[in-house]
Chains A and B, each alone.
Chain A
Amino acid sequence: MWTTVCELKAIVPGTGVCALVGDAQIAIFRPHADDTVYAIANIDPFAEASVLSRGLICEHQGELWVASPLKKQRFRLRDGLCLENRDYSVASYAVRVSDGRIEVQS
């Protein structure tokens, strides 16, 4: 099921936001000033705190990640893989932009 969460332009390019979809906190990132968006779980699995949407988007190994604002572990935007320890990878969600609005599948 696709849920509309917000307008694309509500996200400052280069940053992320957190959306409440059902019971889930989902971090949605917009790395560039276009309509590329990614969605992964918002909970940092190391601290179990809802913070990933507030991390810095970074590029390593030719891919985009978000660095947790708490202790800087990195999670791959496209699938939630944790670079430091794959046992701590987080869920990822299908996400799309339609009609200027961001929709997440849950």
Chain B
Amino acid sequence: MAKTRLIVVGNGMVGQRFLEELCEKGNPAAFDITVFCAEPRVAYDRVHLSSYFSHHTDEDLSLVKPGFFEKYGISVLVGEAVKQIDTAQKQVHSNKGKILPYDKLVMATGSYPWVPPIAGSAHHECFVYRTIEDLNAIESAAKQGKSGVVIGGGLLGLEAAGALKALGLDTHVVEYAPVLMAEQLDRMGGEMLRRKINSLGVSVHTSRNTVNIAMHGGRTGLHRLNFADGSTLDTDVIVFSTGIRPQDTLARYSGLFVSERGGIVINDQCVTSNPDIYAIGECASWHGQYFGLVAPGYKMAQVAADHLLGRKELNFTGADMSAKLKLLGVSVGSIGDAHGRTPGSRNYIFQDDQAGIYKKIVVSPDGTKLIGAVLVGDVDDYGQLLQMKLNDLPVPEHPDTLILPSYAGAKPAMGVDALPASAVICSCFDVSKQRIADAVAAGCHTVAAIKAETGAGTGCGGCVPLIAQVLNAELAKQGFEVKNHLCEHFPHSRQELFHLVKVGGLRTFGEVLARHGHGYGCEVCKPTVGSILATVHNDYILKPEHTPLQDTNDVFLGNMQKDGTYSVIPRMAGGEVTPEGLMTVAQVAKDFQLYTKITGAQRIGLFGAHKGDLPEIWRRLIDAGFETGQAYGKSLRMVKTCVGSTWCRFGVQDSVGLGVELEHRYKGIRTPHKMKFGVSGCTRECAEAQGKDVGIIASDAGWNLFVGGNGGMKPRHADLLASDLDHDTLLRYLDRFLMFYASTADKLQRTATWLESLDGGIDYLREVIVDDRLGLGAQLEADMMEVRAKYECEWKATVEDTSQHARFAHFINSPAHDPNVAFVPAREQHRPASPAERKIIPIKPVETV
């Protein structure tokens, strides 16, 4: 298949995140990627731009993991900008004269600082605050000057003011509106902020409309700002921070729709008016709105990558614009409707002039929900309040208790337990509570470890207190119910034990218990260890050292029924059975008085067999060419197939042939739980393969492989792991998948729950199985080959080993059948008698041949 030529315009924070999403979670091999990066360096962390003044190397800020571009064969054109997109020819023209064709294009051009048309604003010492180059320029100007002014008292302006102050300038902030941060703060909050900033030695001038900037050249500064009210302010360095505008010029010239307020128009999938072009980040306009924060941009990056990969599951649904910042050392937080603009909303306010704290919450008109908040000087409550708003948690009866200082008593602790598992704890990296809990369960026991594992808390940092709370709550939970431990005898999860058994080459329960457990063992750990030993070594399950471990089903190689009898189910791979086979089955059923039924798994089940009769029943079946169907074991039960292309007029592949092959390939391998496969010969899916642990559906080009489906109690549709596979690749992926499942699942965990418990879900699984990111592929395949080679029909071995037969007698000291087993007629066959019925039927052991 030809690779999709993908061009990404802009290598800023969002553009880079998009590449990561596409390559690390998707399928980089399908793309041929070129990135235009107008800035003289690849993506860096603009959010922490100000730290450049203290660190002074752009490497510290870099967002590109070492070797990232090389690893995925991405070509990056640093210092080269796209100047035109020819959407008719589907090619781009660069400012260096390059012309490159594309199949798909992603615009991630960010935004530019908007400078108002004030006379004199183009003077040499007028700067903006967006790039490392801007910072270098400001720094060298600051060396020459004594004073600096930031025009614009918004979030970025205050950040710039902090930088000027740090550079040693006498710093002023000039704001047109009567308050600072008018976007995020209400009037009183802005007032408190202004007082705090003033007290830090930065002069704040609000309600000042700058009309022009004159060259002054005097001792008080190089420039003079003239304000509308006639007042003036002299300064050397001027930084404009009067807002940003989406960088949509290129899009305009290329004929893409652009929103009235600026920004490239996108739909919920981040697709622009041209179906082959996406726009993400600050340059995009969604429902007439653009987003000047990085978190919404990251979400768009995810959505666009998902769409481009053809998964089309995610939508961009807008973003929460809440923010928490530390400006000039003052903490500020703003959530939702900070201004209380919702009609009828109720405000609750706490103010402490002495400590410089102002807090306000806005509650819905009916008093049940939090809809906004402003925090200045003390933002400890930010995380809780934000979660309360995002998850619509009920507010307490007295909402003001939420913001009163703790010494006022009775501060309601929301507690992270109240949050749903899906609650997004870190909005910068879209990390949910569940994901953090999973990381803790996987052994991340510090905030640092969680950061490293999930990325949470590594953006704005606003969520770190909440991460710590989730961590503590999870650790506490583990302390109580150590939930991964197999049982009281083994302080290990099944996954750990599997590993220990394998690495240690342990072969018996006794060895495993002595090395890694204590006590006698129980009904939980014995079969689990038995199953692990069976998966790892595939030994004959009835060796004396293994028998005490097995559930009775395995001990007597049959599924025990409610009356203590067993079912007998020979393998009919893929649901195929010959007429001769049917005749044998019929004769056996008659001779041993077995109730006969087609099971849910496309084979014939014989029910009501006395334990003592089992060896003889199986001898006859095996003589006729059958083998055990393992209907009793935690292993592959069967492969359900439709009739497929050999007979069906719609079929495109031979589903029965493949089903039979797979059933023989994987029969007998013990897995954490039973497994069912399905193979359909075309997309009509008559085998209902998507409801199976492994579902395979024929496509015109090969086979589509689905995993993690389930019928039964908790139905789940399987997820697509890979498509259009040829036969050999399919087998390879299956080998890997089964072994990976067998080695990592918890006890009695079906593939569906296992898959859901995997951090990263199907994408992660795809990385392991298809992309082989963990480098496990070869080992998994080799392990599978080893256990497959040891397959033998357990019933054949048992029938041949006559010393085993005595074990099957019901009594150790009598040849009699179990007198407690009795049948009553039902629909021309029979069923077990109920205990009440048994008391009145004369007990008459069934005659056997």
Q: A residues within 8 Å of B by Cβ?
A: 5-6, 10-15, 17-20, 25, 28, 31, 43, 47-51, 54-60, 64, 67, 69-70, 72, 74
A69 touches which of B544, B552, B811 (Cβ 8 Å): B552
- B834: nearest residue on chain A (CB-CB)? A48
Kindly list chain A residues whose C-beta atoms are within 8 Å of the C-beta of B519: 59
B352 close to chain A: CB less than 8 A: no
Contact A55 B812 (CB under 8 A): no
Contact A72 B523 (CB under 8 A): yes
Nearest CB of A to B254, in Å? 68
- B508-524 with Cβ < 8 A to chain A: 519-524
Nearest CB of A to B554, in Å? 10
Contact A64 B811 (CB under 8 A): no
Contact A50 B560 (CB under 8 A): no
Contact B547 A12 (CB under 8 A): yes
Contact B811 A19 (CB under 8 A): yes
Kindly list chain A residues whose C-beta atoms are within 8 Å of the C-beta of B548: 12-15, 56-57
Contact B551 A56 (CB under 8 A): yes
Kindly list chain B residues whose C-beta atoms are within 8 Å of the C-beta of A48: 820, 835, 838
6 A–B contacts from the bound complex (CB under 8 Å):
A13-B548, A18-B811, A50-B810, A50-B821, A55-B523, A64-B520
B93 close to chain A: CB less than 8 A: no
Contact B810 A31 (CB under 8 A): no
Kindly list chain B residues whose C-beta atoms are within 8 Å of the C-beta of A43: 820
Contact B812 A54 (CB under 8 A): no
Contact A18 B523 (CB under 8 A): no
Contact B820 A49 (CB under 8 A): yes
In the bound complex, CA of A28 to CA of B553 (Å): 19
B577 close to chain A: CB less than 8 A: no
B556 close to chain A: CB less than 8 A: yes
B496 close to chain A: CB less than 8 A: no
Nearest CB of B to A66, in Å? 9
In the bound complex, CA of A59 to CA of B522 (Å): 5
- B542: nearest residue on chain A (CB-CB)? A12
B814 close to chain A: CB less than 8 A: yes
- B560: nearest residue on chain A (CB-CB)? A69
B788 close to chain A: CB less than 8 A: no
Contact B522 A20 (CB under 8 A): no
Nearest CB of A to B102, in Å? 62
Nearest CB of B to A60, in Å? 6
- B835: nearest residue on chain A (CB-CB)? A48
Considering the complex of A and B, which 7 residue pairs feature the smallest CB-CB distances, nearest first? A14-B548, A58-B522, A59-B520, A69-B552, A67-B523, A48-B835, A49-B564
Contact A31 B560 (CB under 8 A): no
The answer to whether A15 and B547 touch (CB under 8 A), given A10-B812, A20-B811, A25-B820, is yes
Contact B810 A18 (CB under 8 A): yes
In the bound complex, CA of A103 to CA of B838 (Å): 30
Contact B547 A58 (CB under 8 A): no
Report whether over half of chain B's contact residues are helix, strand or loop; otherwise say mixed: loop
The answer to whether A58 and B488 touch (CB under 8 A), given A20-B816, A70-B562, is no
- B772-831 with Cβ < 8 A to chain A: 806-807, 810-814, 816, 818, 820-821
B307 close to chain A: CB less than 8 A: no
Nearest CB of B to A43, in Å? 7
Kindly list chain B residues whose C-beta atoms are within 8 Å of the C-beta of A74: 523
Kindly list chain B residues whose C-beta atoms are within 8 Å of the C-beta of A69: 551-553, 560
In the bound complex, CA of A51 to CA of B814 (Å): 16
B462 close to chain A: CB less than 8 A: no
Contact A20 B813 (CB under 8 A): yes
Nearest CB of A to B385, in Å? 47
In the bound complex, CA of A17 to CA of B547 (Å): 13
Nearest CB of B to A99, in Å? 16
Kindly list chain A residues whose C-beta atoms are within 8 Å of the C-beta of B562: 47, 49, 70
Contact A54 B552 (CB under 8 A): yes
Kindly list chain B residues whose C-beta atoms are within 8 Å of the C-beta of A58: 520-524, 526
Contact A19 B812 (CB under 8 A): yes
Q: B residues within 8 Å of A by Cβ?
A: 488-489, 519-524, 526-527, 544, 547-549, 551-553, 555-556, 560, 562-564, 806-807, 810-814, 816, 818, 820-821, 835, 838
- A18: nearest residue on chain B (CB-CB)? B811
In the bound complex, CA of A23 to CA of B690 (Å): 52
The answer to whether A50 and B520 touch (CB under 8 A), given A55-B552, A60-B488, is no
- A11: nearest residue on chain B (CB-CB)? B812
B560 touches which of A13, A51, A64, A67 (Cβ 8 Å): A51
Kindly list chain A residues whose C-beta atoms are within 8 Å of the C-beta of B816: 20
B522 touches which of A18, A28, A60 (Cβ 8 Å): A60
How many cross-chain pairs have Cβ atoms below 8 Å apart between A and B?
96
Contact A50 B547 (CB under 8 A): no
In the bound complex, CA of A55 to CA of B526 (Å): 12
Contact A17 B560 (CB under 8 A): no
In the bound complex, CA of A64 to CA of B489 (Å): 13
In the bound complex, CA of A67 to CA of B488 (Å): 16
In the bound complex, CA of A51 to CA of B556 (Å): 12
The answer to whether A50 and B818 touch (CB under 8 A), given A10-B812, A14-B548, A56-B526, is yes
Kindly list chain A residues whose C-beta atoms are within 8 Å of the C-beta of B563: 47, 49
In the bound complex, CA of A67 to CA of B560 (Å): 14
Nearest CB of B to A14, in Å? 3
Kindly list chain A residues whose C-beta atoms are within 8 Å of the C-beta of B523: 55-56, 58, 67, 72, 74
The answer to whether A19 and B813 touch (CB under 8 A), given A47-B562, A56-B523, is yes
In the bound complex, CA of A69 to CA of B564 (Å): 9
Contact B813 A6 (CB under 8 A): yes
Kindly list chain A residues whose C-beta atoms are within 8 Å of the C-beta of B806: 10
Kindly list chain B residues whose C-beta atoms are within 8 Å of the C-beta of A14: 547-549
In the bound complex, CA of A106 to CA of B835 (Å): 24
Kindly list chain B residues whose C-beta atoms are within 8 Å of the C-beta of A25: 811, 818, 820
Kindly list chain A residues whose C-beta atoms are within 8 Å of the C-beta of B551: 56, 69
Nearest CB of B to A101, in Å? 11
- A13: nearest residue on chain B (CB-CB)? B548
- B526: nearest residue on chain A (CB-CB)? A56
Kindly list chain B residues whose C-beta atoms are within 8 Å of the C-beta of A50: 564, 810, 818, 820-821
The answer to whether A6 and B520 touch (CB under 8 A), given A14-B547, A25-B820, A50-B818, is no
Contact B811 A54 (CB under 8 A): no
- A55: nearest residue on chain B (CB-CB)? B552
In the bound complex, CA of A36 to CA of B526 (Å): 20
Contact A5 B813 (CB under 8 A): yes
- B838: nearest residue on chain A (CB-CB)? A48
- A7: nearest residue on chain B (CB-CB)? B812
In the bound complex, CA of A50 to CA of B611 (Å): 11
A70 touches which of B522, B544, B560, B810 (Cβ 8 Å): B560
Q: Which of A5, A10, A15 has the most CB of B within 10 A?
A: A15
Contact A12 B564 (CB under 8 A): no
Nearest CB of A to B632, in Å? 11
The answer to whether A12 and B521 touch (CB under 8 A), given A18-B812, A49-B564, A58-B526, is no
Q: Which of B813, B814, B816 has the most CB of A within 10 A?
A: B813
Kindly list chain A residues whose C-beta atoms are within 8 Å of the C-beta of B489: 59
A51 touches which of B547, B564, B838 (Cβ 8 Å): B564
The answer to whether A31 and B811 touch (CB under 8 A), given A25-B820, A47-B562, A69-B560, is no
Q: Which of A12, A25, A28, A72 has the most CB of B within 10 A?
A: A12
- A30: nearest residue on chain B (CB-CB)? B548
In the bound complex, CA of A25 to CA of B523 (Å): 23
Nearest CB of A to B529, in Å? 12
Nearest CB of B to A21, in Å? 8
In the bound complex, CA of A67 to CA of B167 (Å): 75
In the bound complex, CA of A35 to CA of B291 (Å): 78
In the bound complex, CA of A101 to CA of B587 (Å): 41
Kindly list chain B residues whose C-beta atoms are within 8 Å of the C-beta of A72: 523
In the bound complex, CA of A13 to CA of B811 (Å): 17
Nearest CB of B to A55, in Å? 7
In the bound complex, CA of A74 to CA of B487 (Å): 16
- B524: nearest residue on chain A (CB-CB)? A58
Kindly list chain A residues whose C-beta atoms are within 8 Å of the C-beta of B520: 31, 57-59, 64
Nearest CB of A to B523, in Å? 4
In the bound complex, CA of A70 to CA of B559 (Å): 10
In the bound complex, CA of A58 to CA of B522 (Å): 4
Q: Which of A19, A60, A64 has the most CB of B within 10 A?
A: A60
